[in-house]
Structure 1
Amino acid sequence: MQNKLFLYLSSGILLLILLAIGSLYMGVYDFGGKSPLNVLQGILSNDPNISPSEKYVLWDVRMARIIMAILIGSILAVSGTVMQGMFKNPLATPDLIGITAGATLMAAITIVLGSYFREYLPEFLQLSLLSIAAFIGALVTTFAVYRISTTQGKTNVVIMLLSGVAISALGFAIVGFLIYLSKDEQLRDLTFWNLGSLGGATWTKNGILLAVLVLSYIVLINKGKALNAMMLGEKDAEHLGIPVERIKKQIVVLTALMVGACVAFSGTIGFVGLIVPYILRLIFKSNYQLVLPLSAVMGSILLLVADTFSRTIVAPSEIPIGVITAFLGAPVFIAILIRFKNSM
């Protein structure tokens, strides 16, 4: 098992590195005959022949965006994988428990009503207000869903799912009302935010995402054996010595943290947490000891490819990355439904 996992992970990481290098070459900026790799080497060695514009385009724009795609893709895929394992449902994603709805609601409030209170905030909060609001919205919604679904220390995943759906419906209803109130510029900002983009990538955001990723993966990435046991049923998992309630709490809290950070920095990017676990389960038969760590790499590959397409197909403009992932994800979603239909 360990040898097989090492082989698959090594192959996936190698493919990811090759795709990242290829993505570095994709773009409309002309480096004057120099290859992007040579420019990158010059930046890292403080070569005075590298102009400020070359450094900005390659390091602050292109490289930062590639790293953000790798981090967010990995986080979304792992989040979807652990949620599907916890709910024992291949259609389960963080969206179902209201995380995305909470982030979207707070982002909509900030975009549409932010002009009324933004000027009273400190300058450092004004610059990051949208990201902070979306992150808080994700955490607050998750806390509400968790409190509703937990009684005497026991979390009912069915109640959690239903309460997430209800809160999501309420959140999107309020967003709809805010869209009705919004002006043209606010409506455009809200629409593009909902469609997702990595265009705002910075090294500061990548540092925060990396910290969230490391913190969460330390706890979650080795939960494959526990998720395999939970697939048999919570009672059976407890008889095998799995601390089911503690693991469910860890999954809910850390998923909210991970997805909240992603949505705060990139907007809504759907289907990554659905596609990757589904494809991996087709190959590895729901063995989460393989599926969970591999999803971390495959999610990065998927989002990096999608983002490369989004910024190059209609360059110098870009297609929102949420549109690309939806084109990829919708057929997979239909395939899941057909497979369930045929198995009934």
Structure 2
Amino acid sequence: MLLEQTTSHTVKELPPLKSTDSADAKVTWTLVLLVLLLIATMLLSMGIGAVPIGVSEIGSLILHSLGWTSATEVTEAKAMVFWVIRLPRVVLAVLVGAGLGIAGAALQGLFRNPVADAGLIGVTSGASLFAILIMMLNAQYWSMINEYGGAYVLSLGAFVGAALTTFLVYQLSKLAGDGSAAMILLIGIAINALVGSITGLMTYLANEQQLRSMTFWSLGSLGGANWTSVIAIAPFVLASTVGLPMLGKSLNLLVLGESQAKALGVNIIGLRRMVIVLATLGVGASVAVAGSIGFVGLVVPHIIRNIIGPDHRNLLIGSALGGALVLAIADTISRTIVAPAELPIGIVTALLGSPFFMYILWKQKTKRI
């Protein structure tokens, strides 16, 4: 109902963003190219590793599982590696990347700030705090939860932490002011500082084994990917990737300013709440299973915006595809570049993202001169 109110109240808005046929064609071809690159990257990632699997073998395995072929010449070992290790990891990378990419684009549009991301509203810091809290308390204090939750206690705790921190930021922004985007950012910065200090204190008190687990989790990894983790986050990421593009028209009008958008029929409070909730769903679930992965939600929307323009109806979809593509590439690099060891994926995204982000800022500055 709230989603309908947010989008359906824009009855007397300005005409949609004008675009030429060539611009529309550019957007379409860009999205098609992103899909094709994503498929190619997934095939490459599923084939590379200690046990190489060819594209024809991947096709044979998939066709056989669908019942379209009666037999396959792929060895049982390769089939096991493909179904149990490679495929769930690639699918998880796509889901996490899509959730981070589309959330970053939506939050940048909501706050009208090109450097906004989920970290500004407490999603990442809250998830990290609760994950470290569970690591510190250990299973002996969580015997009942550990008995029923098993290996998923950490993921559940991280997701709850992300949701609670974001909810706290939003409620405090309404108590301290009018709940505007600027107030949410200010409260978010304060809460992030508070949560960061608590996390630092807990890190200081941790023993060597706990500190090692905390460090590895905070750098991000898809090493523990399996079908259970894929199924666990899929509903949250799909809700985010389906729901946020429906708010694209309202986010376009918000570019004019909150007062102008409100005069044109946009439900500002409802829009703000829906964007934050949907972004938290995607990012919180992603951080819960993969740890803290930076720069995807920050850099990918910039790249897509420079290619297809600022129309959020296209930008959000493109950011989801771009985020999935970037994280699939980063994960392939992280597990192969130092094989048989594995490099945390957060290091790879930072090495790839930070120079590119600095280049974008430099380019924008030169345009203004």
Do Structure 1 and Structure 2 share a fold, with TM-score over 0.5? yes
Answering whether residue 188 of structure 2 is matched by residue 177 of structure 1, we say no
* CA distance in 1: counterparts of 2:241 and 2:336, whole angstroms: 32
Match of 1:208 in 2: 232
Contact 2:162 2:284 in 1 (8 A): yes
Match of 1:55 in 2: 79
- The structure 2 residue matched to 1:237, chosen from 252, 255, 261, is 261
AA aligned opposite 2:317: P
AA aligned opposite 1:310: S
* CA distance in 1: counterparts of 2:147 and 2:74, whole angstroms: 33
Match of 2:34 in 1: 12
List aligned pairs for 1:39-188, cutoff 5 A: 39-45=61-67, 47=71, 53-121=77-145, 123-150=147-174, 154-188=178-212
* Structure-2-length-normalised TM-score: 0.86
* CA distance in 2: counterparts of 1:48 and 1:281, whole angstroms: 44
Q: Report sequence identity in percent.
A: 39
Alpha-carbon distance, 1:310 to partner:
0.7
AA aligned opposite 2:108: Q
- The structure 2 residue matched to 1:302, chosen from 286, 308, 326, is 326
- Matched residues, number: 344
* CA distance in 2: counterparts of 1:42 and 1:187, whole angstroms: 45
The 3 A distance-change label for structure 1 pair 18 and 123 is same
Contact 1:118 1:126 in 2 (8 A): no
Residue deviations 1:22-52 (CA, integer Å, cap 9, x gap) = 11111012569x8344344445548587665
* CA distance in 2: counterparts of 1:142 and 1:62, whole angstroms: 33
* Structure-1-length-normalised TM-score: 0.92
The 3 A distance-change label for structure 1 pair 330 and 239 is same
Match of 1:258 in 2: 282
Contact 1:43 1:55 in 2 (8 A): no
Contact 2:92 2:230 in 1 (8 A): yes
* CA distance in 2: counterparts of 1:208 and 1:153, whole angstroms: 36
* CA distance in 2: counterparts of 1:307 and 1:88, whole angstroms: 30
* CA distance in 1: counterparts of 2:224 and 2:261, whole angstroms: 43
Match of 1:35 in 2: 57
Name structure 1 gaps, 5 residues minimum: none
Alpha-carbon distance, 1:7 to partner:
3.2
Name structure 2 gaps, 5 residues minimum: 1-18
List aligned pairs for 1:253-292, cutoff 5 A: 253-292=277-316
Answering whether residue 357 of structure 2 is matched by residue 322 of structure 1, we say no
* CA distance in 1: counterparts of 2:352 and 2:247, whole angstroms: 28
The 3 A distance-change label for structure 1 pair 285 and 266 is same
Higher mean displacement: 207-216 or 101-110:
207-216
Higher mean displacement: 46-55 or 130-139:
46-55
Residue deviations 1:160-182 (CA, integer Å, cap 9, x gap) = 11111111111111111111111
* CA distance in 2: counterparts of 1:150 and 1:86, whole angstroms: 16
SS at match of 2:246: coil
* CA distance in 1: counterparts of 2:192 and 2:105, whole angstroms: 20
Alpha-carbon distance, 1:318 to partner:
1.2
Alpha-carbon distance, 1:222 to partner:
2.5
* CA distance in 1: counterparts of 2:66 and 2:336, whole angstroms: 26
SS at match of 2:48: coil
* CA distance in 2: counterparts of 1:30 and 1:13, whole angstroms: 24
Answering whether residue 247 of structure 2 is matched by residue 223 of structure 1, we say yes
Higher mean displacement: 108-117 or 273-282:
108-117
Higher mean displacement: 23-32 or 327-336:
23-32
Cα RMSD of the aligned pairs, angstroms, is 2.4
The 3 A distance-change label for structure 1 pair 4 and 30 is closer
AA aligned opposite 2:168: A
The 3 A distance-change label for structure 1 pair 341 and 48 is closer
AA aligned opposite 1:284: I
SS at match of 2:115: coil
Residue deviations 1:43-63 (CA, integer Å, cap 9, x gap) = 554858766543331111100
